[in-house]
Amino acid sequence: MSTVSFDIVIPTIGRPSLRTLLCALGQGPGPWPGRVVVVDDRPDAATPLSFGDVPHDVAGRLAVVRSGGRGPAAARNAGWRAATAEWIAFLDDDVVPPPGWRRDLAKDLEGCRPGVGGSQGVICVPMPSDRRPTDWERNVHGLERAQWATADLAYRRAALERTGGFDERFRRAYREDADLGVRVTAAGYDITTGTRHCLHPVRPADRWMSVRAQRGNADDPLMRALHGRDWRTSAGVPRGRRRRHLMISAAGVASVLALLRGRTRTGAALATLWAAGTAEFAWARIAPGPRTADEVTTMLLTSVAIPFAATWHWCSGWLRVARSAREARPRGARNGTRRPRAVLFDRDGTLVIDVPYNGDPGRVQLVNGVREAIDRLRAAGIPTAVVSNQSGVARGLLTLRDVEAVNRRVEELLGPMGRWWICPHAPGDRCGCRKPAPGLVLRAAQALGVDAVDCAVIGDTGADVDAARAAGARGVLVPNPVTRAEEIEAAEEVAPDLVTAVDLLLNGDRS
């Protein structure tokens, strides 16, 4: 008898492989999930999903929810929020669990200590035994080495609730699972690898599939904006060939421009550089493959297109990040004429008297006026959350359990404050969540279901208002005796106390 409860969530766009998966779930021993939540993510779900004949024990647990074609992140969020169990096991609709997978999943989850937030299954991608694999087959085979791939990954509900789930700005199946994994581990949870495994057959692909797959490069700038320059290390993502793609693309474009301007020698030299880079890329893909005429033709054609496609999507991702920040700033200024939809508070020095690296709930003292300020927001129906740097965790001066004990004491004195978003990193860790980086503000806004531009952040340091500014939110500085003069000078809005700060937000007064 399993001691843990789990539900299964399967996002789908209606592929025929869904029925294969559902039938496979009914095979072999093991405890049954409470629910099998199938998330219909077809943009136009005018007709119901067709499951065909599936095992009775699976059919009786099926629940279908719709997510409107907003991508796998939004679909998985819709699924786990419709589930009720302690653990949510995510499966892609094209995997095939072997008989006994439910039994192995239950064993993996039962073996997870309280600090484990996720349990990764082993993905097995069958390769052909009678020939070398094609480039596309090798690409899919990379799933076996992918960290935190949600093709088979179970998350503890508490970890999903604490982090807000998947970031729905990731609209494609590419970096959304890596982003969540970074946030779950940053929240203090471990993600372990279990003993269960799933088969992931290679779907048929047309000649240009590898070119279309380059759209995923547009997600990397958002990862950098959210998690800092070392996000690849945090997410376990290899660097790949981006620098070479940039070089090849730049050489190709520059050669054409030079030739158009009559600089024949320069254009020829750049064209040679482009050709050499393209040839090296093509051979790197051809050499390990079957080298059939069709495969070689595909590699030659797509090796010309991929560097330009990858560079285009990567640049478009940066433009999207920059556009969002640019549009957020003026909107944030205009938000002064209306109430924010959510208010985020710093903790130490703002809600409570700052005791450096405090892990003792008995030393918690509220700042004057904080009860009245919070009561006014509650009366106005405006949700709150807390965003707090806690570098004492990284420094070894306190634990996440100590931080949570202090947070509980704050809520004993103030009542529920909503979700708590903590950065446990040290200043030199280059994370994307430590204020003045915008990560905590963006995550809190996402969890509250509002745009960051519709949030306000109240804090006592320049890092608090800078984090608000970077996220496009409105920042209000409430200085205390240790707030530096230059921080007060740089802040766009300053209030003498928390009650006045809340009045500024509720009354829309920016004077």
Question: 231-274: per-residue pLDDT in tens?
Answer: 898 888 988 899 999 999 999 999 999 999 999 999 999 999 99
Is residue 335's pLDDT more than 70?
no
Residues 6+ apart with CB under 8 A from 80: 7, 9, 37, 88, 90, 155, 157, 160, 165
Indicate whether 343 and 324 sit together in one domain. no
Q: Residue 509 pLDDT more than 70?
A: no
Q: Are residues 250 and 368 in the same domain?
A: no
CA–CA distance, 158 with 87 (Å, rounded to integer):
9
Q: According to the model, what pLDDT value does residue 13 have?
A: 92
The pLDDT confidence band at residue 510, using thresholds 50, 70 and 90, is very low
- Cβ–Cβ < 8 Å for 357, 478: no
> Does 416 sit behind a cis peptide bond, omega within 30 degrees of 0 on the bond before it?
no
Where a domain ends, among 204, 228, 253?
204
The active-site residue out of 348, 454, 460, 464 is: 348
Active site residue 348: yes
Instruction: Provide the pLDDT for residue 328.
Output: 44
Domain around 112: 6-204
Clarify whether residues 186 and 282 are in a common domain. Answer: no
Total number of domains in the chain: 3
178 and 82 both lie in a single domain:
yes
* 3-state secondary structure at position 358: coil
Tell whether 418 is covered by a domain.
yes
Global pTM exceeds 0.75: no
pLDDT(390) > 60: yes
Catalytic-labelled residue, pool 41, 179, 346, 466: 346
| d(C-alpha 66, C-alpha 71), whole Å | 11
Q: Same structural domain for residues 174 and 293? A: no
- Co-location of 49 and 193 in the same domain: yes
On whether both 323 and 342 belong to a single domain, the answer is no
